[in-house]
């Protein structure tokens, strides 16, 4: 029996409030193998860690049990402390008596009993622990950023500036994302394009950044430091190197039926098009669905006119496989479909717009060249109604239960922009609550009300009736209880932000999890906001949850810092808890090989010498660099020849026995 | 006399404190249990958690061992299908234990006493609910003696 020392943490009153520490210490000291028990208020503090280190040396401890918070919180802290005292870090076991005990139980007697049982299980496991030595793995010195919006752009620039190679994948033909569509940004009313486009140019011209536009992730393999990603470059039908971006092809294209994605469908575009004039790369793409050449075989005008000979109808999708050390997911958000919100007439009336459409409508580079007119009759509206929380904070199945966070501010901004240019237009805003936390945000919204005279009405809109060329908005002012009828010329809906529809699929490829709303989940809501549970994969921007531009940029910088930290390491320490084959027991059935998701198991020929007769047989062999330690093979193994280090059959059985004490 | 017997029966029923062993995968369900803790949700102290790297690490032997050593219920909790940290581990869990649950039922362990649940790291609430429900149904069914080692004595 090894010499075991146990350390019981009070965690202030977090544990000591519900668990009788004295009783626990008494019970633990009687367990077999225990030679030393110590309790302290905060084991994780420097003093607490020193207690552990000193005891290891003074009592020649061979195993250490820490009864404290979750191992997800401080296992590493104590492993490091043990290592500093000369003990193999994998001889430390943590009994989770906070999250799994004191915080979930109220009865002190029961909680104390359970804490003792959990420590008994940890002692049982620890006495079977063996010294494990982590191996070193190489780190590929390149990062991948998925998504070319402001989050991806900022992340890529920050990583590239630190001297590492970055590849940026963007699904659409140009980088820029949602921010490129926006007219002005709150709360400073900066022109969005003026602050974004220089960054886009920086990305394109940076020697360390490589752009893959009009591309998607096909598959992701590997693990931290060594991801192998296959990128599908969709056929652009235009040669990126040859094209000069003169724009003749886009002007002369006879097909004009497709709606411009960039202008939210408010304008049509040709089948060969550049999403917007400042696009990066400024190279058009052929929309094969609408191109006459691809549909009828006739036309080919662009090919004839192109002075650079860049049009290539024969292009095909190309698959590129590259290795990366780290991946940042920055895929952004979408706004919800409004087809379930029939009462707002969005589908039926051209003057009912989403906020994003409104951005294009007021943009100087937009479909109306910045003239504020109604899409139905090209006249200037006299009354505009904004409706907030369309689908946000909506617990019915048609909406989203969360607050989309950005709508209060952009609605105030849009209302203010109207009043600034056209003070005579009456502007109404229907809201549930105005939520404006953020630097200078509340002041901004108040300016809209106090300086610009925007009419804020607390209440929801019941229905909108089109009458002639007017939209009659029926709403309720919930302060007075009055029903209101506003004859509006234009209605703008602040539709809820939602996760990208393909977020789940991408999450699956990357093996990162999504929450109930399909936003990617961070590793810890407070302390690890940009990391995922998969090491080496980070999050930036609205793909993790709705957020505004400053927050997105901050998170992008944080993700970049994490990536730089990872890539700056020449070697990574690998998880030593990997599978190991007992060759004497292995019968070579290779069931393990078939189920290993990492191809970490291979067949190996073993020559045995039996009284001078050499015979050969096949056994399984684990590649420790590839094995991630899931343990699936251990259960598939019929003769029980494979075991998982750190979670051996004996260890888990001992834990079961101890818990059923 | 009969009244006394009844009282005795009631008091012995009240003394029944089920023991439930929960195998939780490190990435989803163990974190979900942590979240239940940080959210200060309540579930009974009868549930005791063993951490495994992935739900696919759980061998039917561990489940049998638990029942043999006096557990009244066993639950295996892992990431939702499709969300496995190791991409496919929980699919193996699902397949293995669908078959195994049938076997257990055949030997007399009720379905309510052996469960597989998918609990993500964000589902602290679900963790507490699942545990509370499991305890409720086991309280109704009584102790699991079918696979129990005859020499087993509950130590208080």
Structural domains present in chain B: 17-141 (3.40.50.960)
Of B28, B45, B96, nearest to A105 by CB-CB distance is B45
Spell out which residues of chain A touch residue B96, defining contact as CB-CB under 8 Å. Answer: 635
Residue A364, Cβ density class (10 Å: 0-12 exposed, 13-18 middle, ≥19 buried): exposed
pLDDT at B8 over 60: no
A509 touches chain B (CB under 8 A): no
Spell out which residues of chain B touch residue A598, defining contact as CB-CB under 8 Å. Answer: 86
Residue A468, Cβ density class (10 Å: 0-12 exposed, 13-18 middle, ≥19 buried): exposed
Residue A518, Cβ density class (10 Å: 0-12 exposed, 13-18 middle, ≥19 buried): middle
Spell out which residues of chain A touch residue B21, defining contact as CB-CB under 8 Å. Answer: 656, 659-660
Of A577, A636, A659, nearest to B53 by CB-CB distance is A577
pLDDT in tens, A476-490: 999 999 999 999 999
Tokens 């080692």 belong to B149
pLDDT at A154 over 60: yes
pLDDT in tens, A513-524: 788 899 998 887
A103 touches chain B (CB under 8 A): yes
3-state secondary structure of A65: strand
Measured distance CA(A285)–CA(A292) in Å, rounded: 14
Q: What is the ipTM of this complex?
A: 0.92
Contact A632 B86 (CB under 8 A): yes
Measured distance CA(B80)–CA(B90) in Å, rounded: 8
* pLDDT, mean of residues A323-340: 96
pLDDT in tens, A384-399: 999 999 999 999 889 9
Spell out which residues of chain B touch residue A111, defining contact as CB-CB under 8 Å. Answer: 45
Cβ–Cβ < 8 Å for A359, A498: no
CATH of the domain spanning A4-126: 3.40.50
Measured distance CA(A114)–CA(A108) in Å, rounded: 10
Q: Where in chain A is the domain with CATH 3.40.50?
A: 4-126
Q: What is the pLDDT of residue B93?
A: 95
pLDDT at A168 over 90: yes
pLDDT in tens, A346-398: 999 999 999 999 999 999 999 999 899 999 999 999 999 999 999 999 998 89
Q: Which has more confidence, A499 or B121?
A: A499
Strand pairing class (A642-644; A579-581): antiparallel
Task: Determine which helix (DSSP H) or strand (DSSP E) holds B115, and give its type and residue range.
Answer: strand B114-118
**Residue whose C-alpha is closest to residue B100's, from B64, B147, B50, B66:** B64
* Tokens matching residue B146: 């079918």
Fold of A579-645: Alpha-Beta Plaits (3.30.70)
Omega within 30 of 0 (cis) for the link into A281: yes
Q: What is the pLDDT of residue B154?
A: 65
Taking CA atoms, what residue in A is nearest to B93? Answer: A632
Q: Where in chain A is the domain with CATH 3.30.70.20?
A: 579-645
Q: Where in chain A is the domain with CATH 3.50.50.60?
A: 142-234+317-332+500-567, 336-498
Q: How confident is the model at residue B3 (pLDDT cuts 50, 70, 90)?
A: low
Q: What is the pLDDT of residue B5?
A: 53
Residues within 8 A of B (CB atoms), A 583-602 only:
595, 597-598
Sign of the dihedral defined by the CA atoms of residues A339, A340, A342, A346, in that order: negative
Cβ–Cβ < 8 Å for A399, A493: no
Omega within 30 of 0 (cis) for the link into A330: no
pLDDT in tens, A432-449: 999 999 999 999 999 999
**Residue whose C-alpha is closest to residue B75's, from B126, B130, B142:** B130
CATH of the domain spanning A336-498: 3.50.50.60
3-state secondary structure of A602: strand
Alpha helices (runs of H) in chain B, residue ranges in sequence order = 2-15, 29-38, 60-68, 89-107, 124-141
Q: What is the pLDDT of residue A535?
A: 85
Task: Classify residue A56 by its DSSP letter.
Answer: H
What DSSP string runs through A379-410? Answer: PPPSEEEEEEEESTT--STTS-SS--SSHHHH
Contact A647 B38 (CB under 8 A): no
Alpha helices (runs of H) in A209-340, residue ranges in sequence order = 248-252, 292-296, 301-305
* pLDDT, mean of residues B70-78: 95
Helix axes A46-58, A71-84, angle to 10 degrees: 50
* pLDDT, mean of residues A637-658: 95
Residues within 8 A of B (CB atoms), A 54-73 only:
70-72
A652 touches chain B (CB under 8 A): yes
Spell out which residues of chain B touch residue A96, defining contact as CB-CB under 8 Å. Answer: 34, 49
A99 touches chain B (CB under 8 A): yes
* pLDDT, mean of residues A642-660: 95
CATH of the domain spanning A142-234+317-332+500-567: 3.50.50.60
* pLDDT, mean of residues A558-585: 93
Q: How confident is the model at residue B1 (pLDDT cuts 50, 70, 90)?
A: very low
pLDDT over 90, % of chain A: 88
* pLDDT, mean of residues A128-133: 94
How distant, in Å, are the alpha carbons of A29, A237, A242 from that of A300?
86, 12, 18
Q: What is the pLDDT of residue A257?
A: 87
How distant, in Å, are the alpha carbons of A98, A104, A272, A492, B95 from that of A360?
52, 51, 21, 12, 52
Alpha helices (runs of H) in A321-430, residue ranges in sequence order = 355-362, 407-421
**Residue whose C-alpha is closest to residue A428's, from A465, A384, A374:** A384
pLDDT at B6 over 60: no
Task: Determine which helix (DSSP H) or strand (DSSP E) holds A609, and give its type and residue range.
Answer: strand A601-610
Q: What is the pLDDT of residue A137?
A: 86
Of A104, A595, A598, nearest to B43 by CB-CB distance is A104
- pLDDT averaged over every residue in chain A: 94
Tokens 């810890």 belong to A524
């Amino acid at each position: 029996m090894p010499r075991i020392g146990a350390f019981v943490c009070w965690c202030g009153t977090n544990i000591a409030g519900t668990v009788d520490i004295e009783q626990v210490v008494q019970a633990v000291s009687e367990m077999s193998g225990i030679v030393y028990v110590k309790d302290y208020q905060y084991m994780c503090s420097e003093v607490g860690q020193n207690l552990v280190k000193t005891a290891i040396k003074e009592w020649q401890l061979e195993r250490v049990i820490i009864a404290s918070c979750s191992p997800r919180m401080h296992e590493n802290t104590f492993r490091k402390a043990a290592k500093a005292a000369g003990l193999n870090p994998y001889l430390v076991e943590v009994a989770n008596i906070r999250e799994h005990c004191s915080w979930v139980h109220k009865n002190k007697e029961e909680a104390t009993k359970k804490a003792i049982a959990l420590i008994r299980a940890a002692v049982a496991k620890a006495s079977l622990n063996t010294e494990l030595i982590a191996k070193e793995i190489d780190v590929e010195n390149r990062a991948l950023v998925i998504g070319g919006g402001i989050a991806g752009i900022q992340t890529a620039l920050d990583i590239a500036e630190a001297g590492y190679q970055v590849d940026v994948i963007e699904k659409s033909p140009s980088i820029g994302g949602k921010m490129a569509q926006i007219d002005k940004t709150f709360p400073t009313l900066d022109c969005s394009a003026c602050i974004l486009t220089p960054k886009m140019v920086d990305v394109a011209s940076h020697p360390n950044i490589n752009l893959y536009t009009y591309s998607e992730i096909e598959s992701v393999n590997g693990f931290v430091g060594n991801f192998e990603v296959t990128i599908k470059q969709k056929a652009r039908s235009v040669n990126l190197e040859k094209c000069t971006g003169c724009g003749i092809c886009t002007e002369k294209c006879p097909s004009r039926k497709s709606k411009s994605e960039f202008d939210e469908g408010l304008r049509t575009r040709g089948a060969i098009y550049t999403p917007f004039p400042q696009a990066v790369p400024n190279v058009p793409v052929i929309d094969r669905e609408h191109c006459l050449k691809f549909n009828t075989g006739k036309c080919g005008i662009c090919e004839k006119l192109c002075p650079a000979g860049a049009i290539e109808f024969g292009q095909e999708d190309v698959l590129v496989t590259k290795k990366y050390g780290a991946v940042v997911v920055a895929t952004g958000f979408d706004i919800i479909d409004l087809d379930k919100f029939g009462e707002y007439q969005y589908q039926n009336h051209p003057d009912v717009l989403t906020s994003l459409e409104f951005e294009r409508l007021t943009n100087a580079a937009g479909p109306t060249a910045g003239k504020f007119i109604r899409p139905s009759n090209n006249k200037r509206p006299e009354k505009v109604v904004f409706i907030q929380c369309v689908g946000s904070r909506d617990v019915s199945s048609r909406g989203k239960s969360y607050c989309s966070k950005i709508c209060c501010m952009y609605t105030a901004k849009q209302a203010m922009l109207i009043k600034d240019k056209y003070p005579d237009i009456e502007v109404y805003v229907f809201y549930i609550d105005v939520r404006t936390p953020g630097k200078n945000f509340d002041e901004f919204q108040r300016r809209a009300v106090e300086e610009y005279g925007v009419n804020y009405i607390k209440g929801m809109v019941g229905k909108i009736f089109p009458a002639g060329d007017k939209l009659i908005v029926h709403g309720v002012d919930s302060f007075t209880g009055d029903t209101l009828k506003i004859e509006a010329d234009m209605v703008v809906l602040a539709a809820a932000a939602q996760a990208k529809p393909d977020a789940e699929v991408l999450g699956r490829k990357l093996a990162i999890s999504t929450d109930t709303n399909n936003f990617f989940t961070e590793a810890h809501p407070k302390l690890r906001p940009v990391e995922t549970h998969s090491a080496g994969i980070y999050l930036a921007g609205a793909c993790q949850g709705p957020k505004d531009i400053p927050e997105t940029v901050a998170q992008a910088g944080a993700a970049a810092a994490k990536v730089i930290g990872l890539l700056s390491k020449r070697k990574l320490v690998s998880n030593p808890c990997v599978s190991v084959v007992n060759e004497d027991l292995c019968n070579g059935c290779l069931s393990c090989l078939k189920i290993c998701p990492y191809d970490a198991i291979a067949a190996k020929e073993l020559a045995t010498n039996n009284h001078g007769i050499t015979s050969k047989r096949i056994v399984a062999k684990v590649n420790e660099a590839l094995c991630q330690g899931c343990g699936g093979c251990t259960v598939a193994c019929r003769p029980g020849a494979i075991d998982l280090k750190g979670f051996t059959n004996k260890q888990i059985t001992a834990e079961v026995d101890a818990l059923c004490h | 006399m009969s009244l006394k017997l009844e009282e005795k029966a009631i008091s012995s029923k009240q003394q029944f404190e089920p023991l439930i062993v929960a195998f939780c995968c490190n990435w989803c369900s163990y974190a979900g249990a942590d979240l239940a803790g940080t959210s200060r949700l309540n579930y009974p102290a009868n549930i005791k958690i063993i951490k495994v790297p992935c739900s696919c690490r759980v061998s039917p032997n561990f489940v049998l061992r638990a029942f043999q050593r006096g557990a009244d219920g066993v639950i295996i909790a892992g990431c939702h299908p499709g969300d496995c940290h190791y991409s496919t581990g929980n699919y193996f869990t699902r397949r293995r234990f669908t078959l195994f649950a049938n076997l257990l039922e055949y030997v007399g362990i009720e379905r309510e006493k052996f469960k597989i649940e998918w609990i993500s790291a964000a589902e602290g609430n679900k963790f507490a609910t699942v545990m509370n429900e499991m305890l409720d149904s086991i309280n109704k069914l009584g102790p699991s003696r079918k696979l129990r080692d005859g020499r087993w004595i509950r130590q208080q």
